[in-house]
Structure 1
Amino acid sequence: MSFNLRSKSLLCDVAYNMSPLLKIFSIVLQISLAGLLVLSTGCTRSANRDKDSNTFVFRIAAEPPHLDPIRGIDHVSIDLMNNLLEGLMQFDRDMSVIPALATRYEVSKDKTVYTFYLRKDVVWSDGVPFTAEQVFYSWKRMLEPKNAAEFAYFFYDIENAEDYNSGKVTDFSKVGIKVLDPLTVQVTLARPIGFWATMTATPAFFPVREDLIEKHGSSWIQPPHFQTLGPYKLTSWEHDKQLVFEANEKYWEGTPPIKKVIGLIVEEATTAVGLFEDGALDLVRHLPTQDVERIKKDARYHKQSYFRGYYYGFNTTKKPFNNPKVRKAFAHAVDRHAIVSVLKGGQQASASWIPEGMLGYNASIGLSYNPDLAKKYLAEAGYPGGKGFPHAELSFDQRDDNKLVAEALQGMWTKDLGVKLEIVSMEWKVYLDKTRTDPYPIYRMGWGADFPDPNNFMDLFLSNSGTNDTNWSNPNYDKIVREAAGETIYVRRKNLYDQAQRMLLEQDAVIIPLFTESNDYLADPRVRNFYLDKMNNMFIKRFEIAAD
């Protein structure tokens, strides 16, 4: 049977509008009937643009869970917010912070008071002036107990912020956030933090509008209600299909060179690569593991390391994983190098939670592969050879590489511990909600740097962290991590992080870091000035489309 262009188009229409399971079936059907993968059939329908137009089209790996800073805490949402919203500061190509909505800031000698001076004549995309009151509202909103913002803990270094968020303090005037005048915001910290200004370049600190939220409720993030201070406006959001941005002509830095941006939601990595090869995408990240060797031969292939750790966590409140000996047994039964060899994507096996290249990285920290010790710990926990071990689930979000890792772990734990686990997977948005509310006993997660400092990795597991899905709490760990955040002497700070990592990874064995991820991607050379930094940030406003 042969397929003409029309039949290809119909197949692509179907593939874009069916469930993930049926999408997979559709691809398999095409292979059997035509000997062609979807990735070679020219599915260009959703891009709907000419190759020479001033449009940048990139792959989004899943439906964005949320574009509200108090809800968008995952990498998919953050990637989009970085291009739709704006902070007081921003990251340059080298990950240093430079002025954005603030022209400058001043720090007191004791590093506890930060004063930000905002730009004059900055307006939102609908022409409404930008003011210090909007910054105040946004940061207060992040700390409101009723909002249960998961990144509220990013603000806990501010005087009385944690107590307000927990309800211990009810008067917000006692929190160290003040408006000094319409263009000046001042923050008073509870203790010295030398890197605090860097955090204002992250989405948790991006200003939003009270009037829009009051008028439209949760739909304020939907077009046409969405208004921005950032380089792009969100003009269309077809859920589970695509998002469309258009250049913000009122942006304070000037209208971006690329006038239109399309984010295609393509869950299957092989399909995304096919769309790239057919000219329908300019950028594809998260390449399919099974096809990496072929893709590496493409001149448009790039690889770089970045600050992102891949780990499996334990829900420490669920039996039998409330027992540290069980957790240690599972950790010692993991052969990280075997997992990395299966993935073939340049990942670097690592038992350390702080990634290489960042202060605090220590290759000697963590529980290494030791089957004999693993068996010993499991026996001491009451399950010799895995006998009597209860039914437990191993969970991950649907992605080809995640499936390979989960199956590898399942096999290792069966071989070395005699334990059989049930594998559970689900779509990213559903999985994230499940992990945040009622984590499986063992769950997959990753963490990429929001700002280039080890505090961003270590405070993830503080007792009061909104992203601590392990439900683990260790007051000594909390104390040491907070002390390290304020330490300015390199050697002392590193020693503190060594202590904290040993508590997290060895003493209590709360998570099992597997590797730091490699950023493998395909990028069309027609996109000039393209780069991804070591935090995997993509700032489209700095790109240009080359004229043919």
Structure 2
Amino acid sequence: MMRKSLVLPVVAGLLAPVLVACGGSDGSSGDGEAIVVGTTDQFTATEESPAPLDPAFAYDTGSWNILRQSLQTLMHVPRGGGAPVPEAASSCRFSDNQNESYRCELRDGLKFAGGADITSEDVKFSIERVIDINSEAGAVGLLKNIDTIETPSDTEVIFHLKTPDATFPYKLSTPVAGIVDPESYEGKTLRDGFGVNGSGPYKFDAEVKDGKIVKAVFTKNDSYKGDLKLRNSKVELRSYPDAAAMGKALDSGEIDVMARTMAPGQIEEMTAKPKDSVELTEMPGLEIRYLAFDTDEPVGKEKAVRQAVASLVDRGQIASEVYGATAEPLYSLIPATITAHTNSFFNKYGEPNRAEAAKFLEDAGVETPVKFTMHYTTDHYGEATAKEFEMLKEQLNSSGLFQVDTKGAVWSKFRPAQTRGEYTVYGMGWFPDFPDPDNYIAPFLDEDNFLNAPYANPKVIKELIPQSRSEAERSAAASAFSEMQDIVAEDVPVLPLWQGKQYVAAADDISGVEWALNPSGELLLWELGTGSAV
């Protein structure tokens, strides 16, 4: 019978460890058949997105979930959360009091999966390569604070930062800082296609059809030396067009685990009508969804328009009627489960209020109805996205103040168009790169931001973000984060909508499920096994 388990770690700036019962078996799948995991993430190579798995280009949760298995980083966030710990490194530390110089010593015997030894020069090459390529679509912003990289010996690497940054160890734990084999990657050119060559816990191979990965195969890398403990020798990640197809694959035994992203209706049905031999696991999530505005575009640049939208959106209706128990209204970019969260949008706008929205527009002399199109991706965040945007359209249009259309596009077209600034208003989701409030602020408001957005607040960029990063004790940065959240609520360059929970359904002979998808949406496939978890 299906059992619903609940795993709720405490999130306070950093993720605190989770307690879980341990069984007597080591849970290893040994050399048996692969554990098969289903996903609705799509992995597509196109002319606009030619290098979906190059760490200099990739910046979506699905692609990073492939890279995390196959590339090694100097640091990683440990099981259950907390401060980063060494992975490819044997030790890392700030060597000054200003958090501007960070030194790492590599583990002995590190090798790429192809057999070549790894030295500090390979680390330097990998990270400088991302900075040199400087892809607009990528996560280069996480590394832009690096001034120089020094390699005094084959095993030591020193990062000299432009400004103090207490979050830098987290950034070294993300796939953009993955160590790649220089024999397979050029220094200033993206690697097209689906090849990945690194030193992670698994070797990676892709089964591709019509320019899409249909099956990602991860086989234990016997050369791997690092902090991660593998509980299996092989995992297959299979991509499905939607949650319904993925659910059928679980029912038929084609897959063992149904991961990202289950549909709200599936979760409700599996809770109400348990299935034999299937366990549904609910886990906390750090995912947020939001609307973003192009503040250079004629409609989007008018603050009164953005404030009027903020006055009309009914988050509670979206959460309850579209996502049910899987989502909660969100009134800040920083979710409620992260230290430094404030309800800045609720404090300013309160409940949906047409009169207030009309006053914003009238005071600014904006002619109504205001016309624009809201864009969303049809295949990246789950099938409920379309329903969400129809509800948003109805909420705005029913006020008589707006005349809004919606338009969807597949992610491989949506993301490049969004990056180029082709959309006035658009919907996005965000899983944090690392669980710190900085990663809900800087990617949207800093220079070289993730959205490639034109909005720039000098106080945020020049004063508040640097101030927050200078605090090694992260709780001491709360006042800076509080002020930045209030600025976002006032200017509305982005409009937070809701934050979500996560669910995984798995055959009941699969263990480690509660560890295999962390609150940041990261798949940690090495945690899966058969038998009891340890």
TM-score by shorter chain over 0.5: yes
Partners of 1:145 and 1:230 in 2: CA distance: 23
State yes or no: 1:282 paired with 2:267.
no
Q: Measured at CA, do residues 264 and 391 of structure 1 come closer, stay the same or move farther in structure 2, by a change above 3 Å?
A: same
Are the counterparts in 2 of residues 176 and 188 from structure 1 also a CA contact under 8 Å? yes
Partner residue in 2 for 1:190: 162
Given candidates 369, 377, 392, the residue that maps to 1:396 is 377
Are the counterparts in 2 of residues 316 and 322 from structure 1 also a CA contact under 8 Å? yes
Partner residue in 2 for 1:113: 101
Question: What letter is aligned with 1:349?
Answer: P
SS of the counterpart of 1:300?
Answer: strand
Residue 462 of structure 1: CA displacement?
Answer: 2.9
TM-score (norm 2): 0.83
Question: What letter is aligned with 1:203?
Answer: P
State yes or no: 1:95 paired with 2:81.
yes
Partners of 1:90 and 1:362 in 2: CA distance: 28
Partner residue in 2 for 1:305: 284
State yes or no: 1:409 paired with 2:395.
no
SS of the counterpart of 1:81?
Answer: helix
Partner residue in 1 for 2:175: 203
- Give CA deviations for 1:127-150 in whole Å, capped at 9, x if unaligned: 000110011011111111565563
Residue 219 of structure 1: CA displacement?
Answer: 4.7
Given candidates 217, 223, 231, the residue that maps to 1:250 is 223
Partners of 1:69 and 1:278 in 2: CA distance: 35
- Give CA deviations for 1:22-55 in whole Å, capped at 9, x if unaligned: xxxxxxxxxxxxxxxxxxxxxxxxxxxx9x9531
Partner residue in 1 for 2:242: 268
Partners of 1:461 and 1:396 in 2: CA distance: 19
Residue 80 of structure 1: CA displacement?
Answer: 1.2
Residue 109 of structure 1: CA displacement?
Answer: 4.0
Matched residues, percent identical?
A: 20
Given candidates 47, 54, 57, the residue that maps to 2:33 is 54
Residue 295 of structure 1: CA displacement?
Answer: 1.6
State yes or no: 1:230 paired with 2:214.
no
Q: How does 1:294-373 map to 2 (within 5 A)?
A: 294-297=269-272, 298=274, 300-342=279-321, 343-366=323-346, 367-368=349-350, 369-373=352-356
Partner residue in 1 for 2:457: 474
**Structure 1 gap segments, 5+ residues each:** 1-49, 159-174
Question: What letter is aligned with 1:156?
Answer: K
Given candidates 507, 513, 521, the residue that maps to 1:536 is 521
Are the counterparts in 1 of residues 344 and 485 from structure 2 also a CA contact under 8 Å? no
Larger radius of gyration: 1
Q: Measured at CA, do residues 466 and 195 of structure 1 come closer, stay the same or move farther in structure 2, by a change above 3 Å?
A: closer
Q: Which has the higher contact order (CA 8 A, sep 6+)?
A: 2
Residue 488 of structure 1: CA displacement?
Answer: 4.0
Partners of 1:514 and 1:436 in 2: CA distance: 21
Q: How does 1:455-474 map to 2 (within 5 A)?
A: 455-474=438-457
- Give CA deviations for 1:333-364 in whole Å, capped at 9, x if unaligned: 00100100111142111111101221211124
Are the counterparts in 1 of residues 344 and 486 from structure 2 also a CA contact under 8 Å? no
Partner residue in 2 for 1:212: 184
SS of the counterpart of 2:115?
Answer: coil
Structure with the larger helix share: 1
Are the counterparts in 2 of residues 232 and 246 from structure 1 also a CA contact under 8 Å? yes
TM-score (norm 1): 0.81
Partner residue in 2 for 1:498: 482
Partners of 1:390 and 1:192 in 2: CA distance: 44
Partner residue in 2 for 1:82: 68
- Give CA deviations for 1:50-77 in whole Å, capped at 9, x if unaligned: 9x95312112323225111111101111
Residue 261 of structure 1: CA displacement?
Answer: 1.8
State yes or no: 1:71 paired with 2:57.
yes
Q: Measured at CA, do residues 137 and 222 of structure 1 come closer, stay the same or move farther in structure 2, by a change above 3 Å?
A: same
Partners of 1:491 and 1:116 in 2: CA distance: 25
Q: Once structures 1 and 2 are overlaid, which stretch shifts more, 375-384 or 516-525?
A: 375-384
**Structure 2 gap segments, 5+ residues each:** 1-28, 45-51
State yes or no: 1:177 paired with 2:149.
yes
Residue 396 of structure 1: CA displacement?
Answer: 3.3
Question: What letter is aligned with 2:264?
Answer: T
State yes or no: 1:138 paired with 2:126.
yes
Partners of 1:146 and 1:340 in 2: CA distance: 37
Partners of 1:421 and 1:264 in 2: CA distance: 37
Question: What letter is aligned with 2:245?
Answer: T
- Give CA deviations for 1:452-475 in whole Å, capped at 9, x if unaligned: 111111101234224134321111
Partners of 1:269 and 1:79 in 2: CA distance: 18
State yes or no: 1:523 paired with 2:506.
yes
Question: What letter is aligned with 1:229?
Answer: S
Partner residue in 2 for 1:432: 415
Residue 543 of structure 1: CA displacement?
Answer: 2.3
SS of the counterpart of 1:431?
Answer: helix
Question: What letter is aligned with 2:315?
Answer: R
- Give CA deviations for 1:215-262 in whole Å, capped at 9, x if unaligned: 996557635xx3220111112231242222222121114994422222
Partners of 1:141 and 1:382 in 2: CA distance: 49
Question: What letter is aligned with 2:216?
Answer: L
Residue 273 of structure 1: CA displacement?
Answer: 1.1
- Give CA deviations for 1:153-207 in whole Å, capped at 9, x if unaligned: 212333xxxxxxxxxxxxxxxx331111000001122333333222211111111
Partners of 2:304 and 2:320 in 1: CA distance: 28
Residue 535 of structure 1: CA displacement?
Answer: 1.4
Are the counterparts in 2 of residues 133 and 182 from structure 1 also a CA contact under 8 Å? yes
Q: Measured at CA, do residues 242 and 216 of structure 1 come closer, stay the same or move farther in structure 2, by a change above 3 Å?
A: farther
SS of the counterpart of 1:270?
Answer: helix
Are the counterparts in 2 of residues 132 and 181 from structure 1 also a CA contact under 8 Å? yes
* Number of corresponding residues: 476
Partner residue in 2 for 1:168: none
